[in-house]
Amino acid sequence: MKKSILMSALIILLLSGNIWALEYAGGNIHGFISQGYLDSSDNNFLADTHSGTFQFREMGINYSREILSGLRGGFQLFSRDLGDIGNNEIEIDWAYLDYNYRKWLGVRLGKMKTPMGFYNETRDFDISRVNVFLPQGVYNEGWRDSFTAKTGVGIYGKIPMNQLGDLKYQAQVGEMDIEEDGGIAKFTDGQTHSTTLDFDVDTTYAAELQWETPLPGLRIGVSGNWFDYDHYFSTNDTTYWRNRTEQAFWIGAGITPEEWAFLAGMGFLPPVPTTYEEYQAYGVDMIGLRIEMPVENYYYILSAEFVWGDLTLAAEFAQDEIEYKMMAPLPYGTLIERKFKFEGYYYSAAYRFTEWFELGTYYSVFYPDCTDKEGYETQRIYDVPREINWSKDTCLSARFDINQNWILKIEGHSIDGLAVMYIIDQDKNKDESLDVDKDWNLFAFKLTYTF
């Protein structure tokens, strides 16, 4: 019912002609609706893109107004569909009260956009950029549902520094949402050969500083997010966990298969077990276990942007220090304990040639574990292709402003590596191995109406 109401409202607005905003009860109503098409030469990017898919849409409608002098309130209803993420479910994207006490101090209370780099807070505002997808090295589309916003309290402000420019700041404390069927769950399930059961997220923190330098058009920033959560999942019946069952058996037995065979030949032991079912008969079974995985994250982004007339240059570098343990019920105990860093960066350029045409490009790199850039350690631990541990993306985007409300974007990607995909979305060969290609292309088309 909620889906049809939101869709109907937006369709009515589409048919009402060229408008930029609506007014209601002393406030402003804005909204957007977009429909896209994705097609990839190989692999699947967050949906069934290898076959081509129209499961790529977004819509939202927001309302804001001044309640009292200095006090504003508002909310946005948002829906998206990207493969089996979102599925057109309507959610509250943001909803908060904002009290601007002074230029140097404001307070927000409610569900707020999370400051992560320069563009996370405006990523659903399609009209603000030339690209269909923000660079995946910093703005991972698969994790967007968790990193977009948090619910809590925040402060912000802008401090003039005279000849040195201005300093903007934000600080937030609250809770972030990590859904059992969301992007982080799908990413982890693919690597760990498991099915997510639940997430328990601790209080999260975010902060940002932006320096608007004396040089017109140049701003530099740093942002950080710190969050911990417990991830609970169940191991699936896969070759990976059958092999882990074999390893657990021999560790528990305390002898080698050769020593067992010798004792079996002497009549002291039965024949050497060699299959999963035989290990299972001895009470060792790594399939169907409930695993607890505490995860700690310390996420930082360095940002720079320079706007000179119709030219925009930008670069950002992100690093996340991650520490986790996989803890199974006794007698198995801790299965894996790791501390590593993921790393991503990009540099981009965009130029608006006319009022209706803009061209942009970027080169984006992402390493889920920058201590293992060739992927050999990841392949050994998780039994996945080593190419899953990097992505190097060259992108070219074209934007056509049909009028003040309608925008068409066409985008192409040439990608080396598999890190921005979900493993569980990929096709498999007859032997159950992944049918993926290291080098592949992605094409995206997107038509957006904004008012």
Written as six digits, the tokens of 326 are 């996989």
Looking at residue 18, its pLDDT comes to: 56
List the CATH number of the domain containing 381.
2.40.160.10
Domain that holds residue 302: 2-236+288-450
Tokens 């950002």, located at residue: 316
Specify if 212 maps to a domain: yes
pLDDT of residue 4: 45
412 domain-assigned: yes
354 inside domain: yes
Among residues 392, 366, 360, 448, the alpha carbon closest in space to that of 131 is found at 360
75 belongs to a structural domain: yes
Flag whether 253 is in a domain. Answer: no
Cβ pair 219, 304 in contact under 8 A:
yes
The answer to whether position 246 is within a domain reads no
CA of residue 335 relative to chain centroid, distance: 26
Classify residue 145 as exposed, middle or buried by CB count within 10 Å of its CB (0-12, 13-18, 19+).
buried
State the pLDDT at residue 310. Answer: 97
The backbone torsions φ and ψ at residue 344, rounded to the nearest 5 degrees and listed phi first, read -150, 150
What's the number of domains the chain is made of? 1
Measured between its terminal Cα atoms, the distance across the chain in Å is 23
> What pLDDT sits at residue 29?
93
CB 149 within 8 A of CB 204: no
pLDDT for 65 equals 94
The pLDDT assigned to 207 comes to 98
In a domain, 250, yes or no: no
What DSSP element (H or E) covers 33? strand 27-40
Contacts of 409 (CB under 8 A, 6+ apart): 126, 130, 131, 132, 397, 398, 399, 400, 444, 445, 446, 447, 448
> 182 CB contacts (<8 Å, ≥6 apart)?
85, 145, 146
Averaged pLDDT in 10-residue chunks for the chain of 451 residues: 47 52 80 96 91 94 93 94 88 95 96 95 92 96 90 97 96 94 88 93 96 97 96 93 92 90 90 92 93 95 98 97 93 90 96 98 95 87 86 98 95 95 82 83 96 90
Tell me 273's DSSP state. Answer: P
Q: Count the Cβ atoms, other than its own, within 10 Å of residue 1.
A: 6
271 assigned to some structural domain = no
What pLDDT score does 20 carry?
A: 60
Q: In degrees rounded to 5, what are phi and psi of residue 144?
A: -60, -40
At residue 19, the pLDDT reads 58
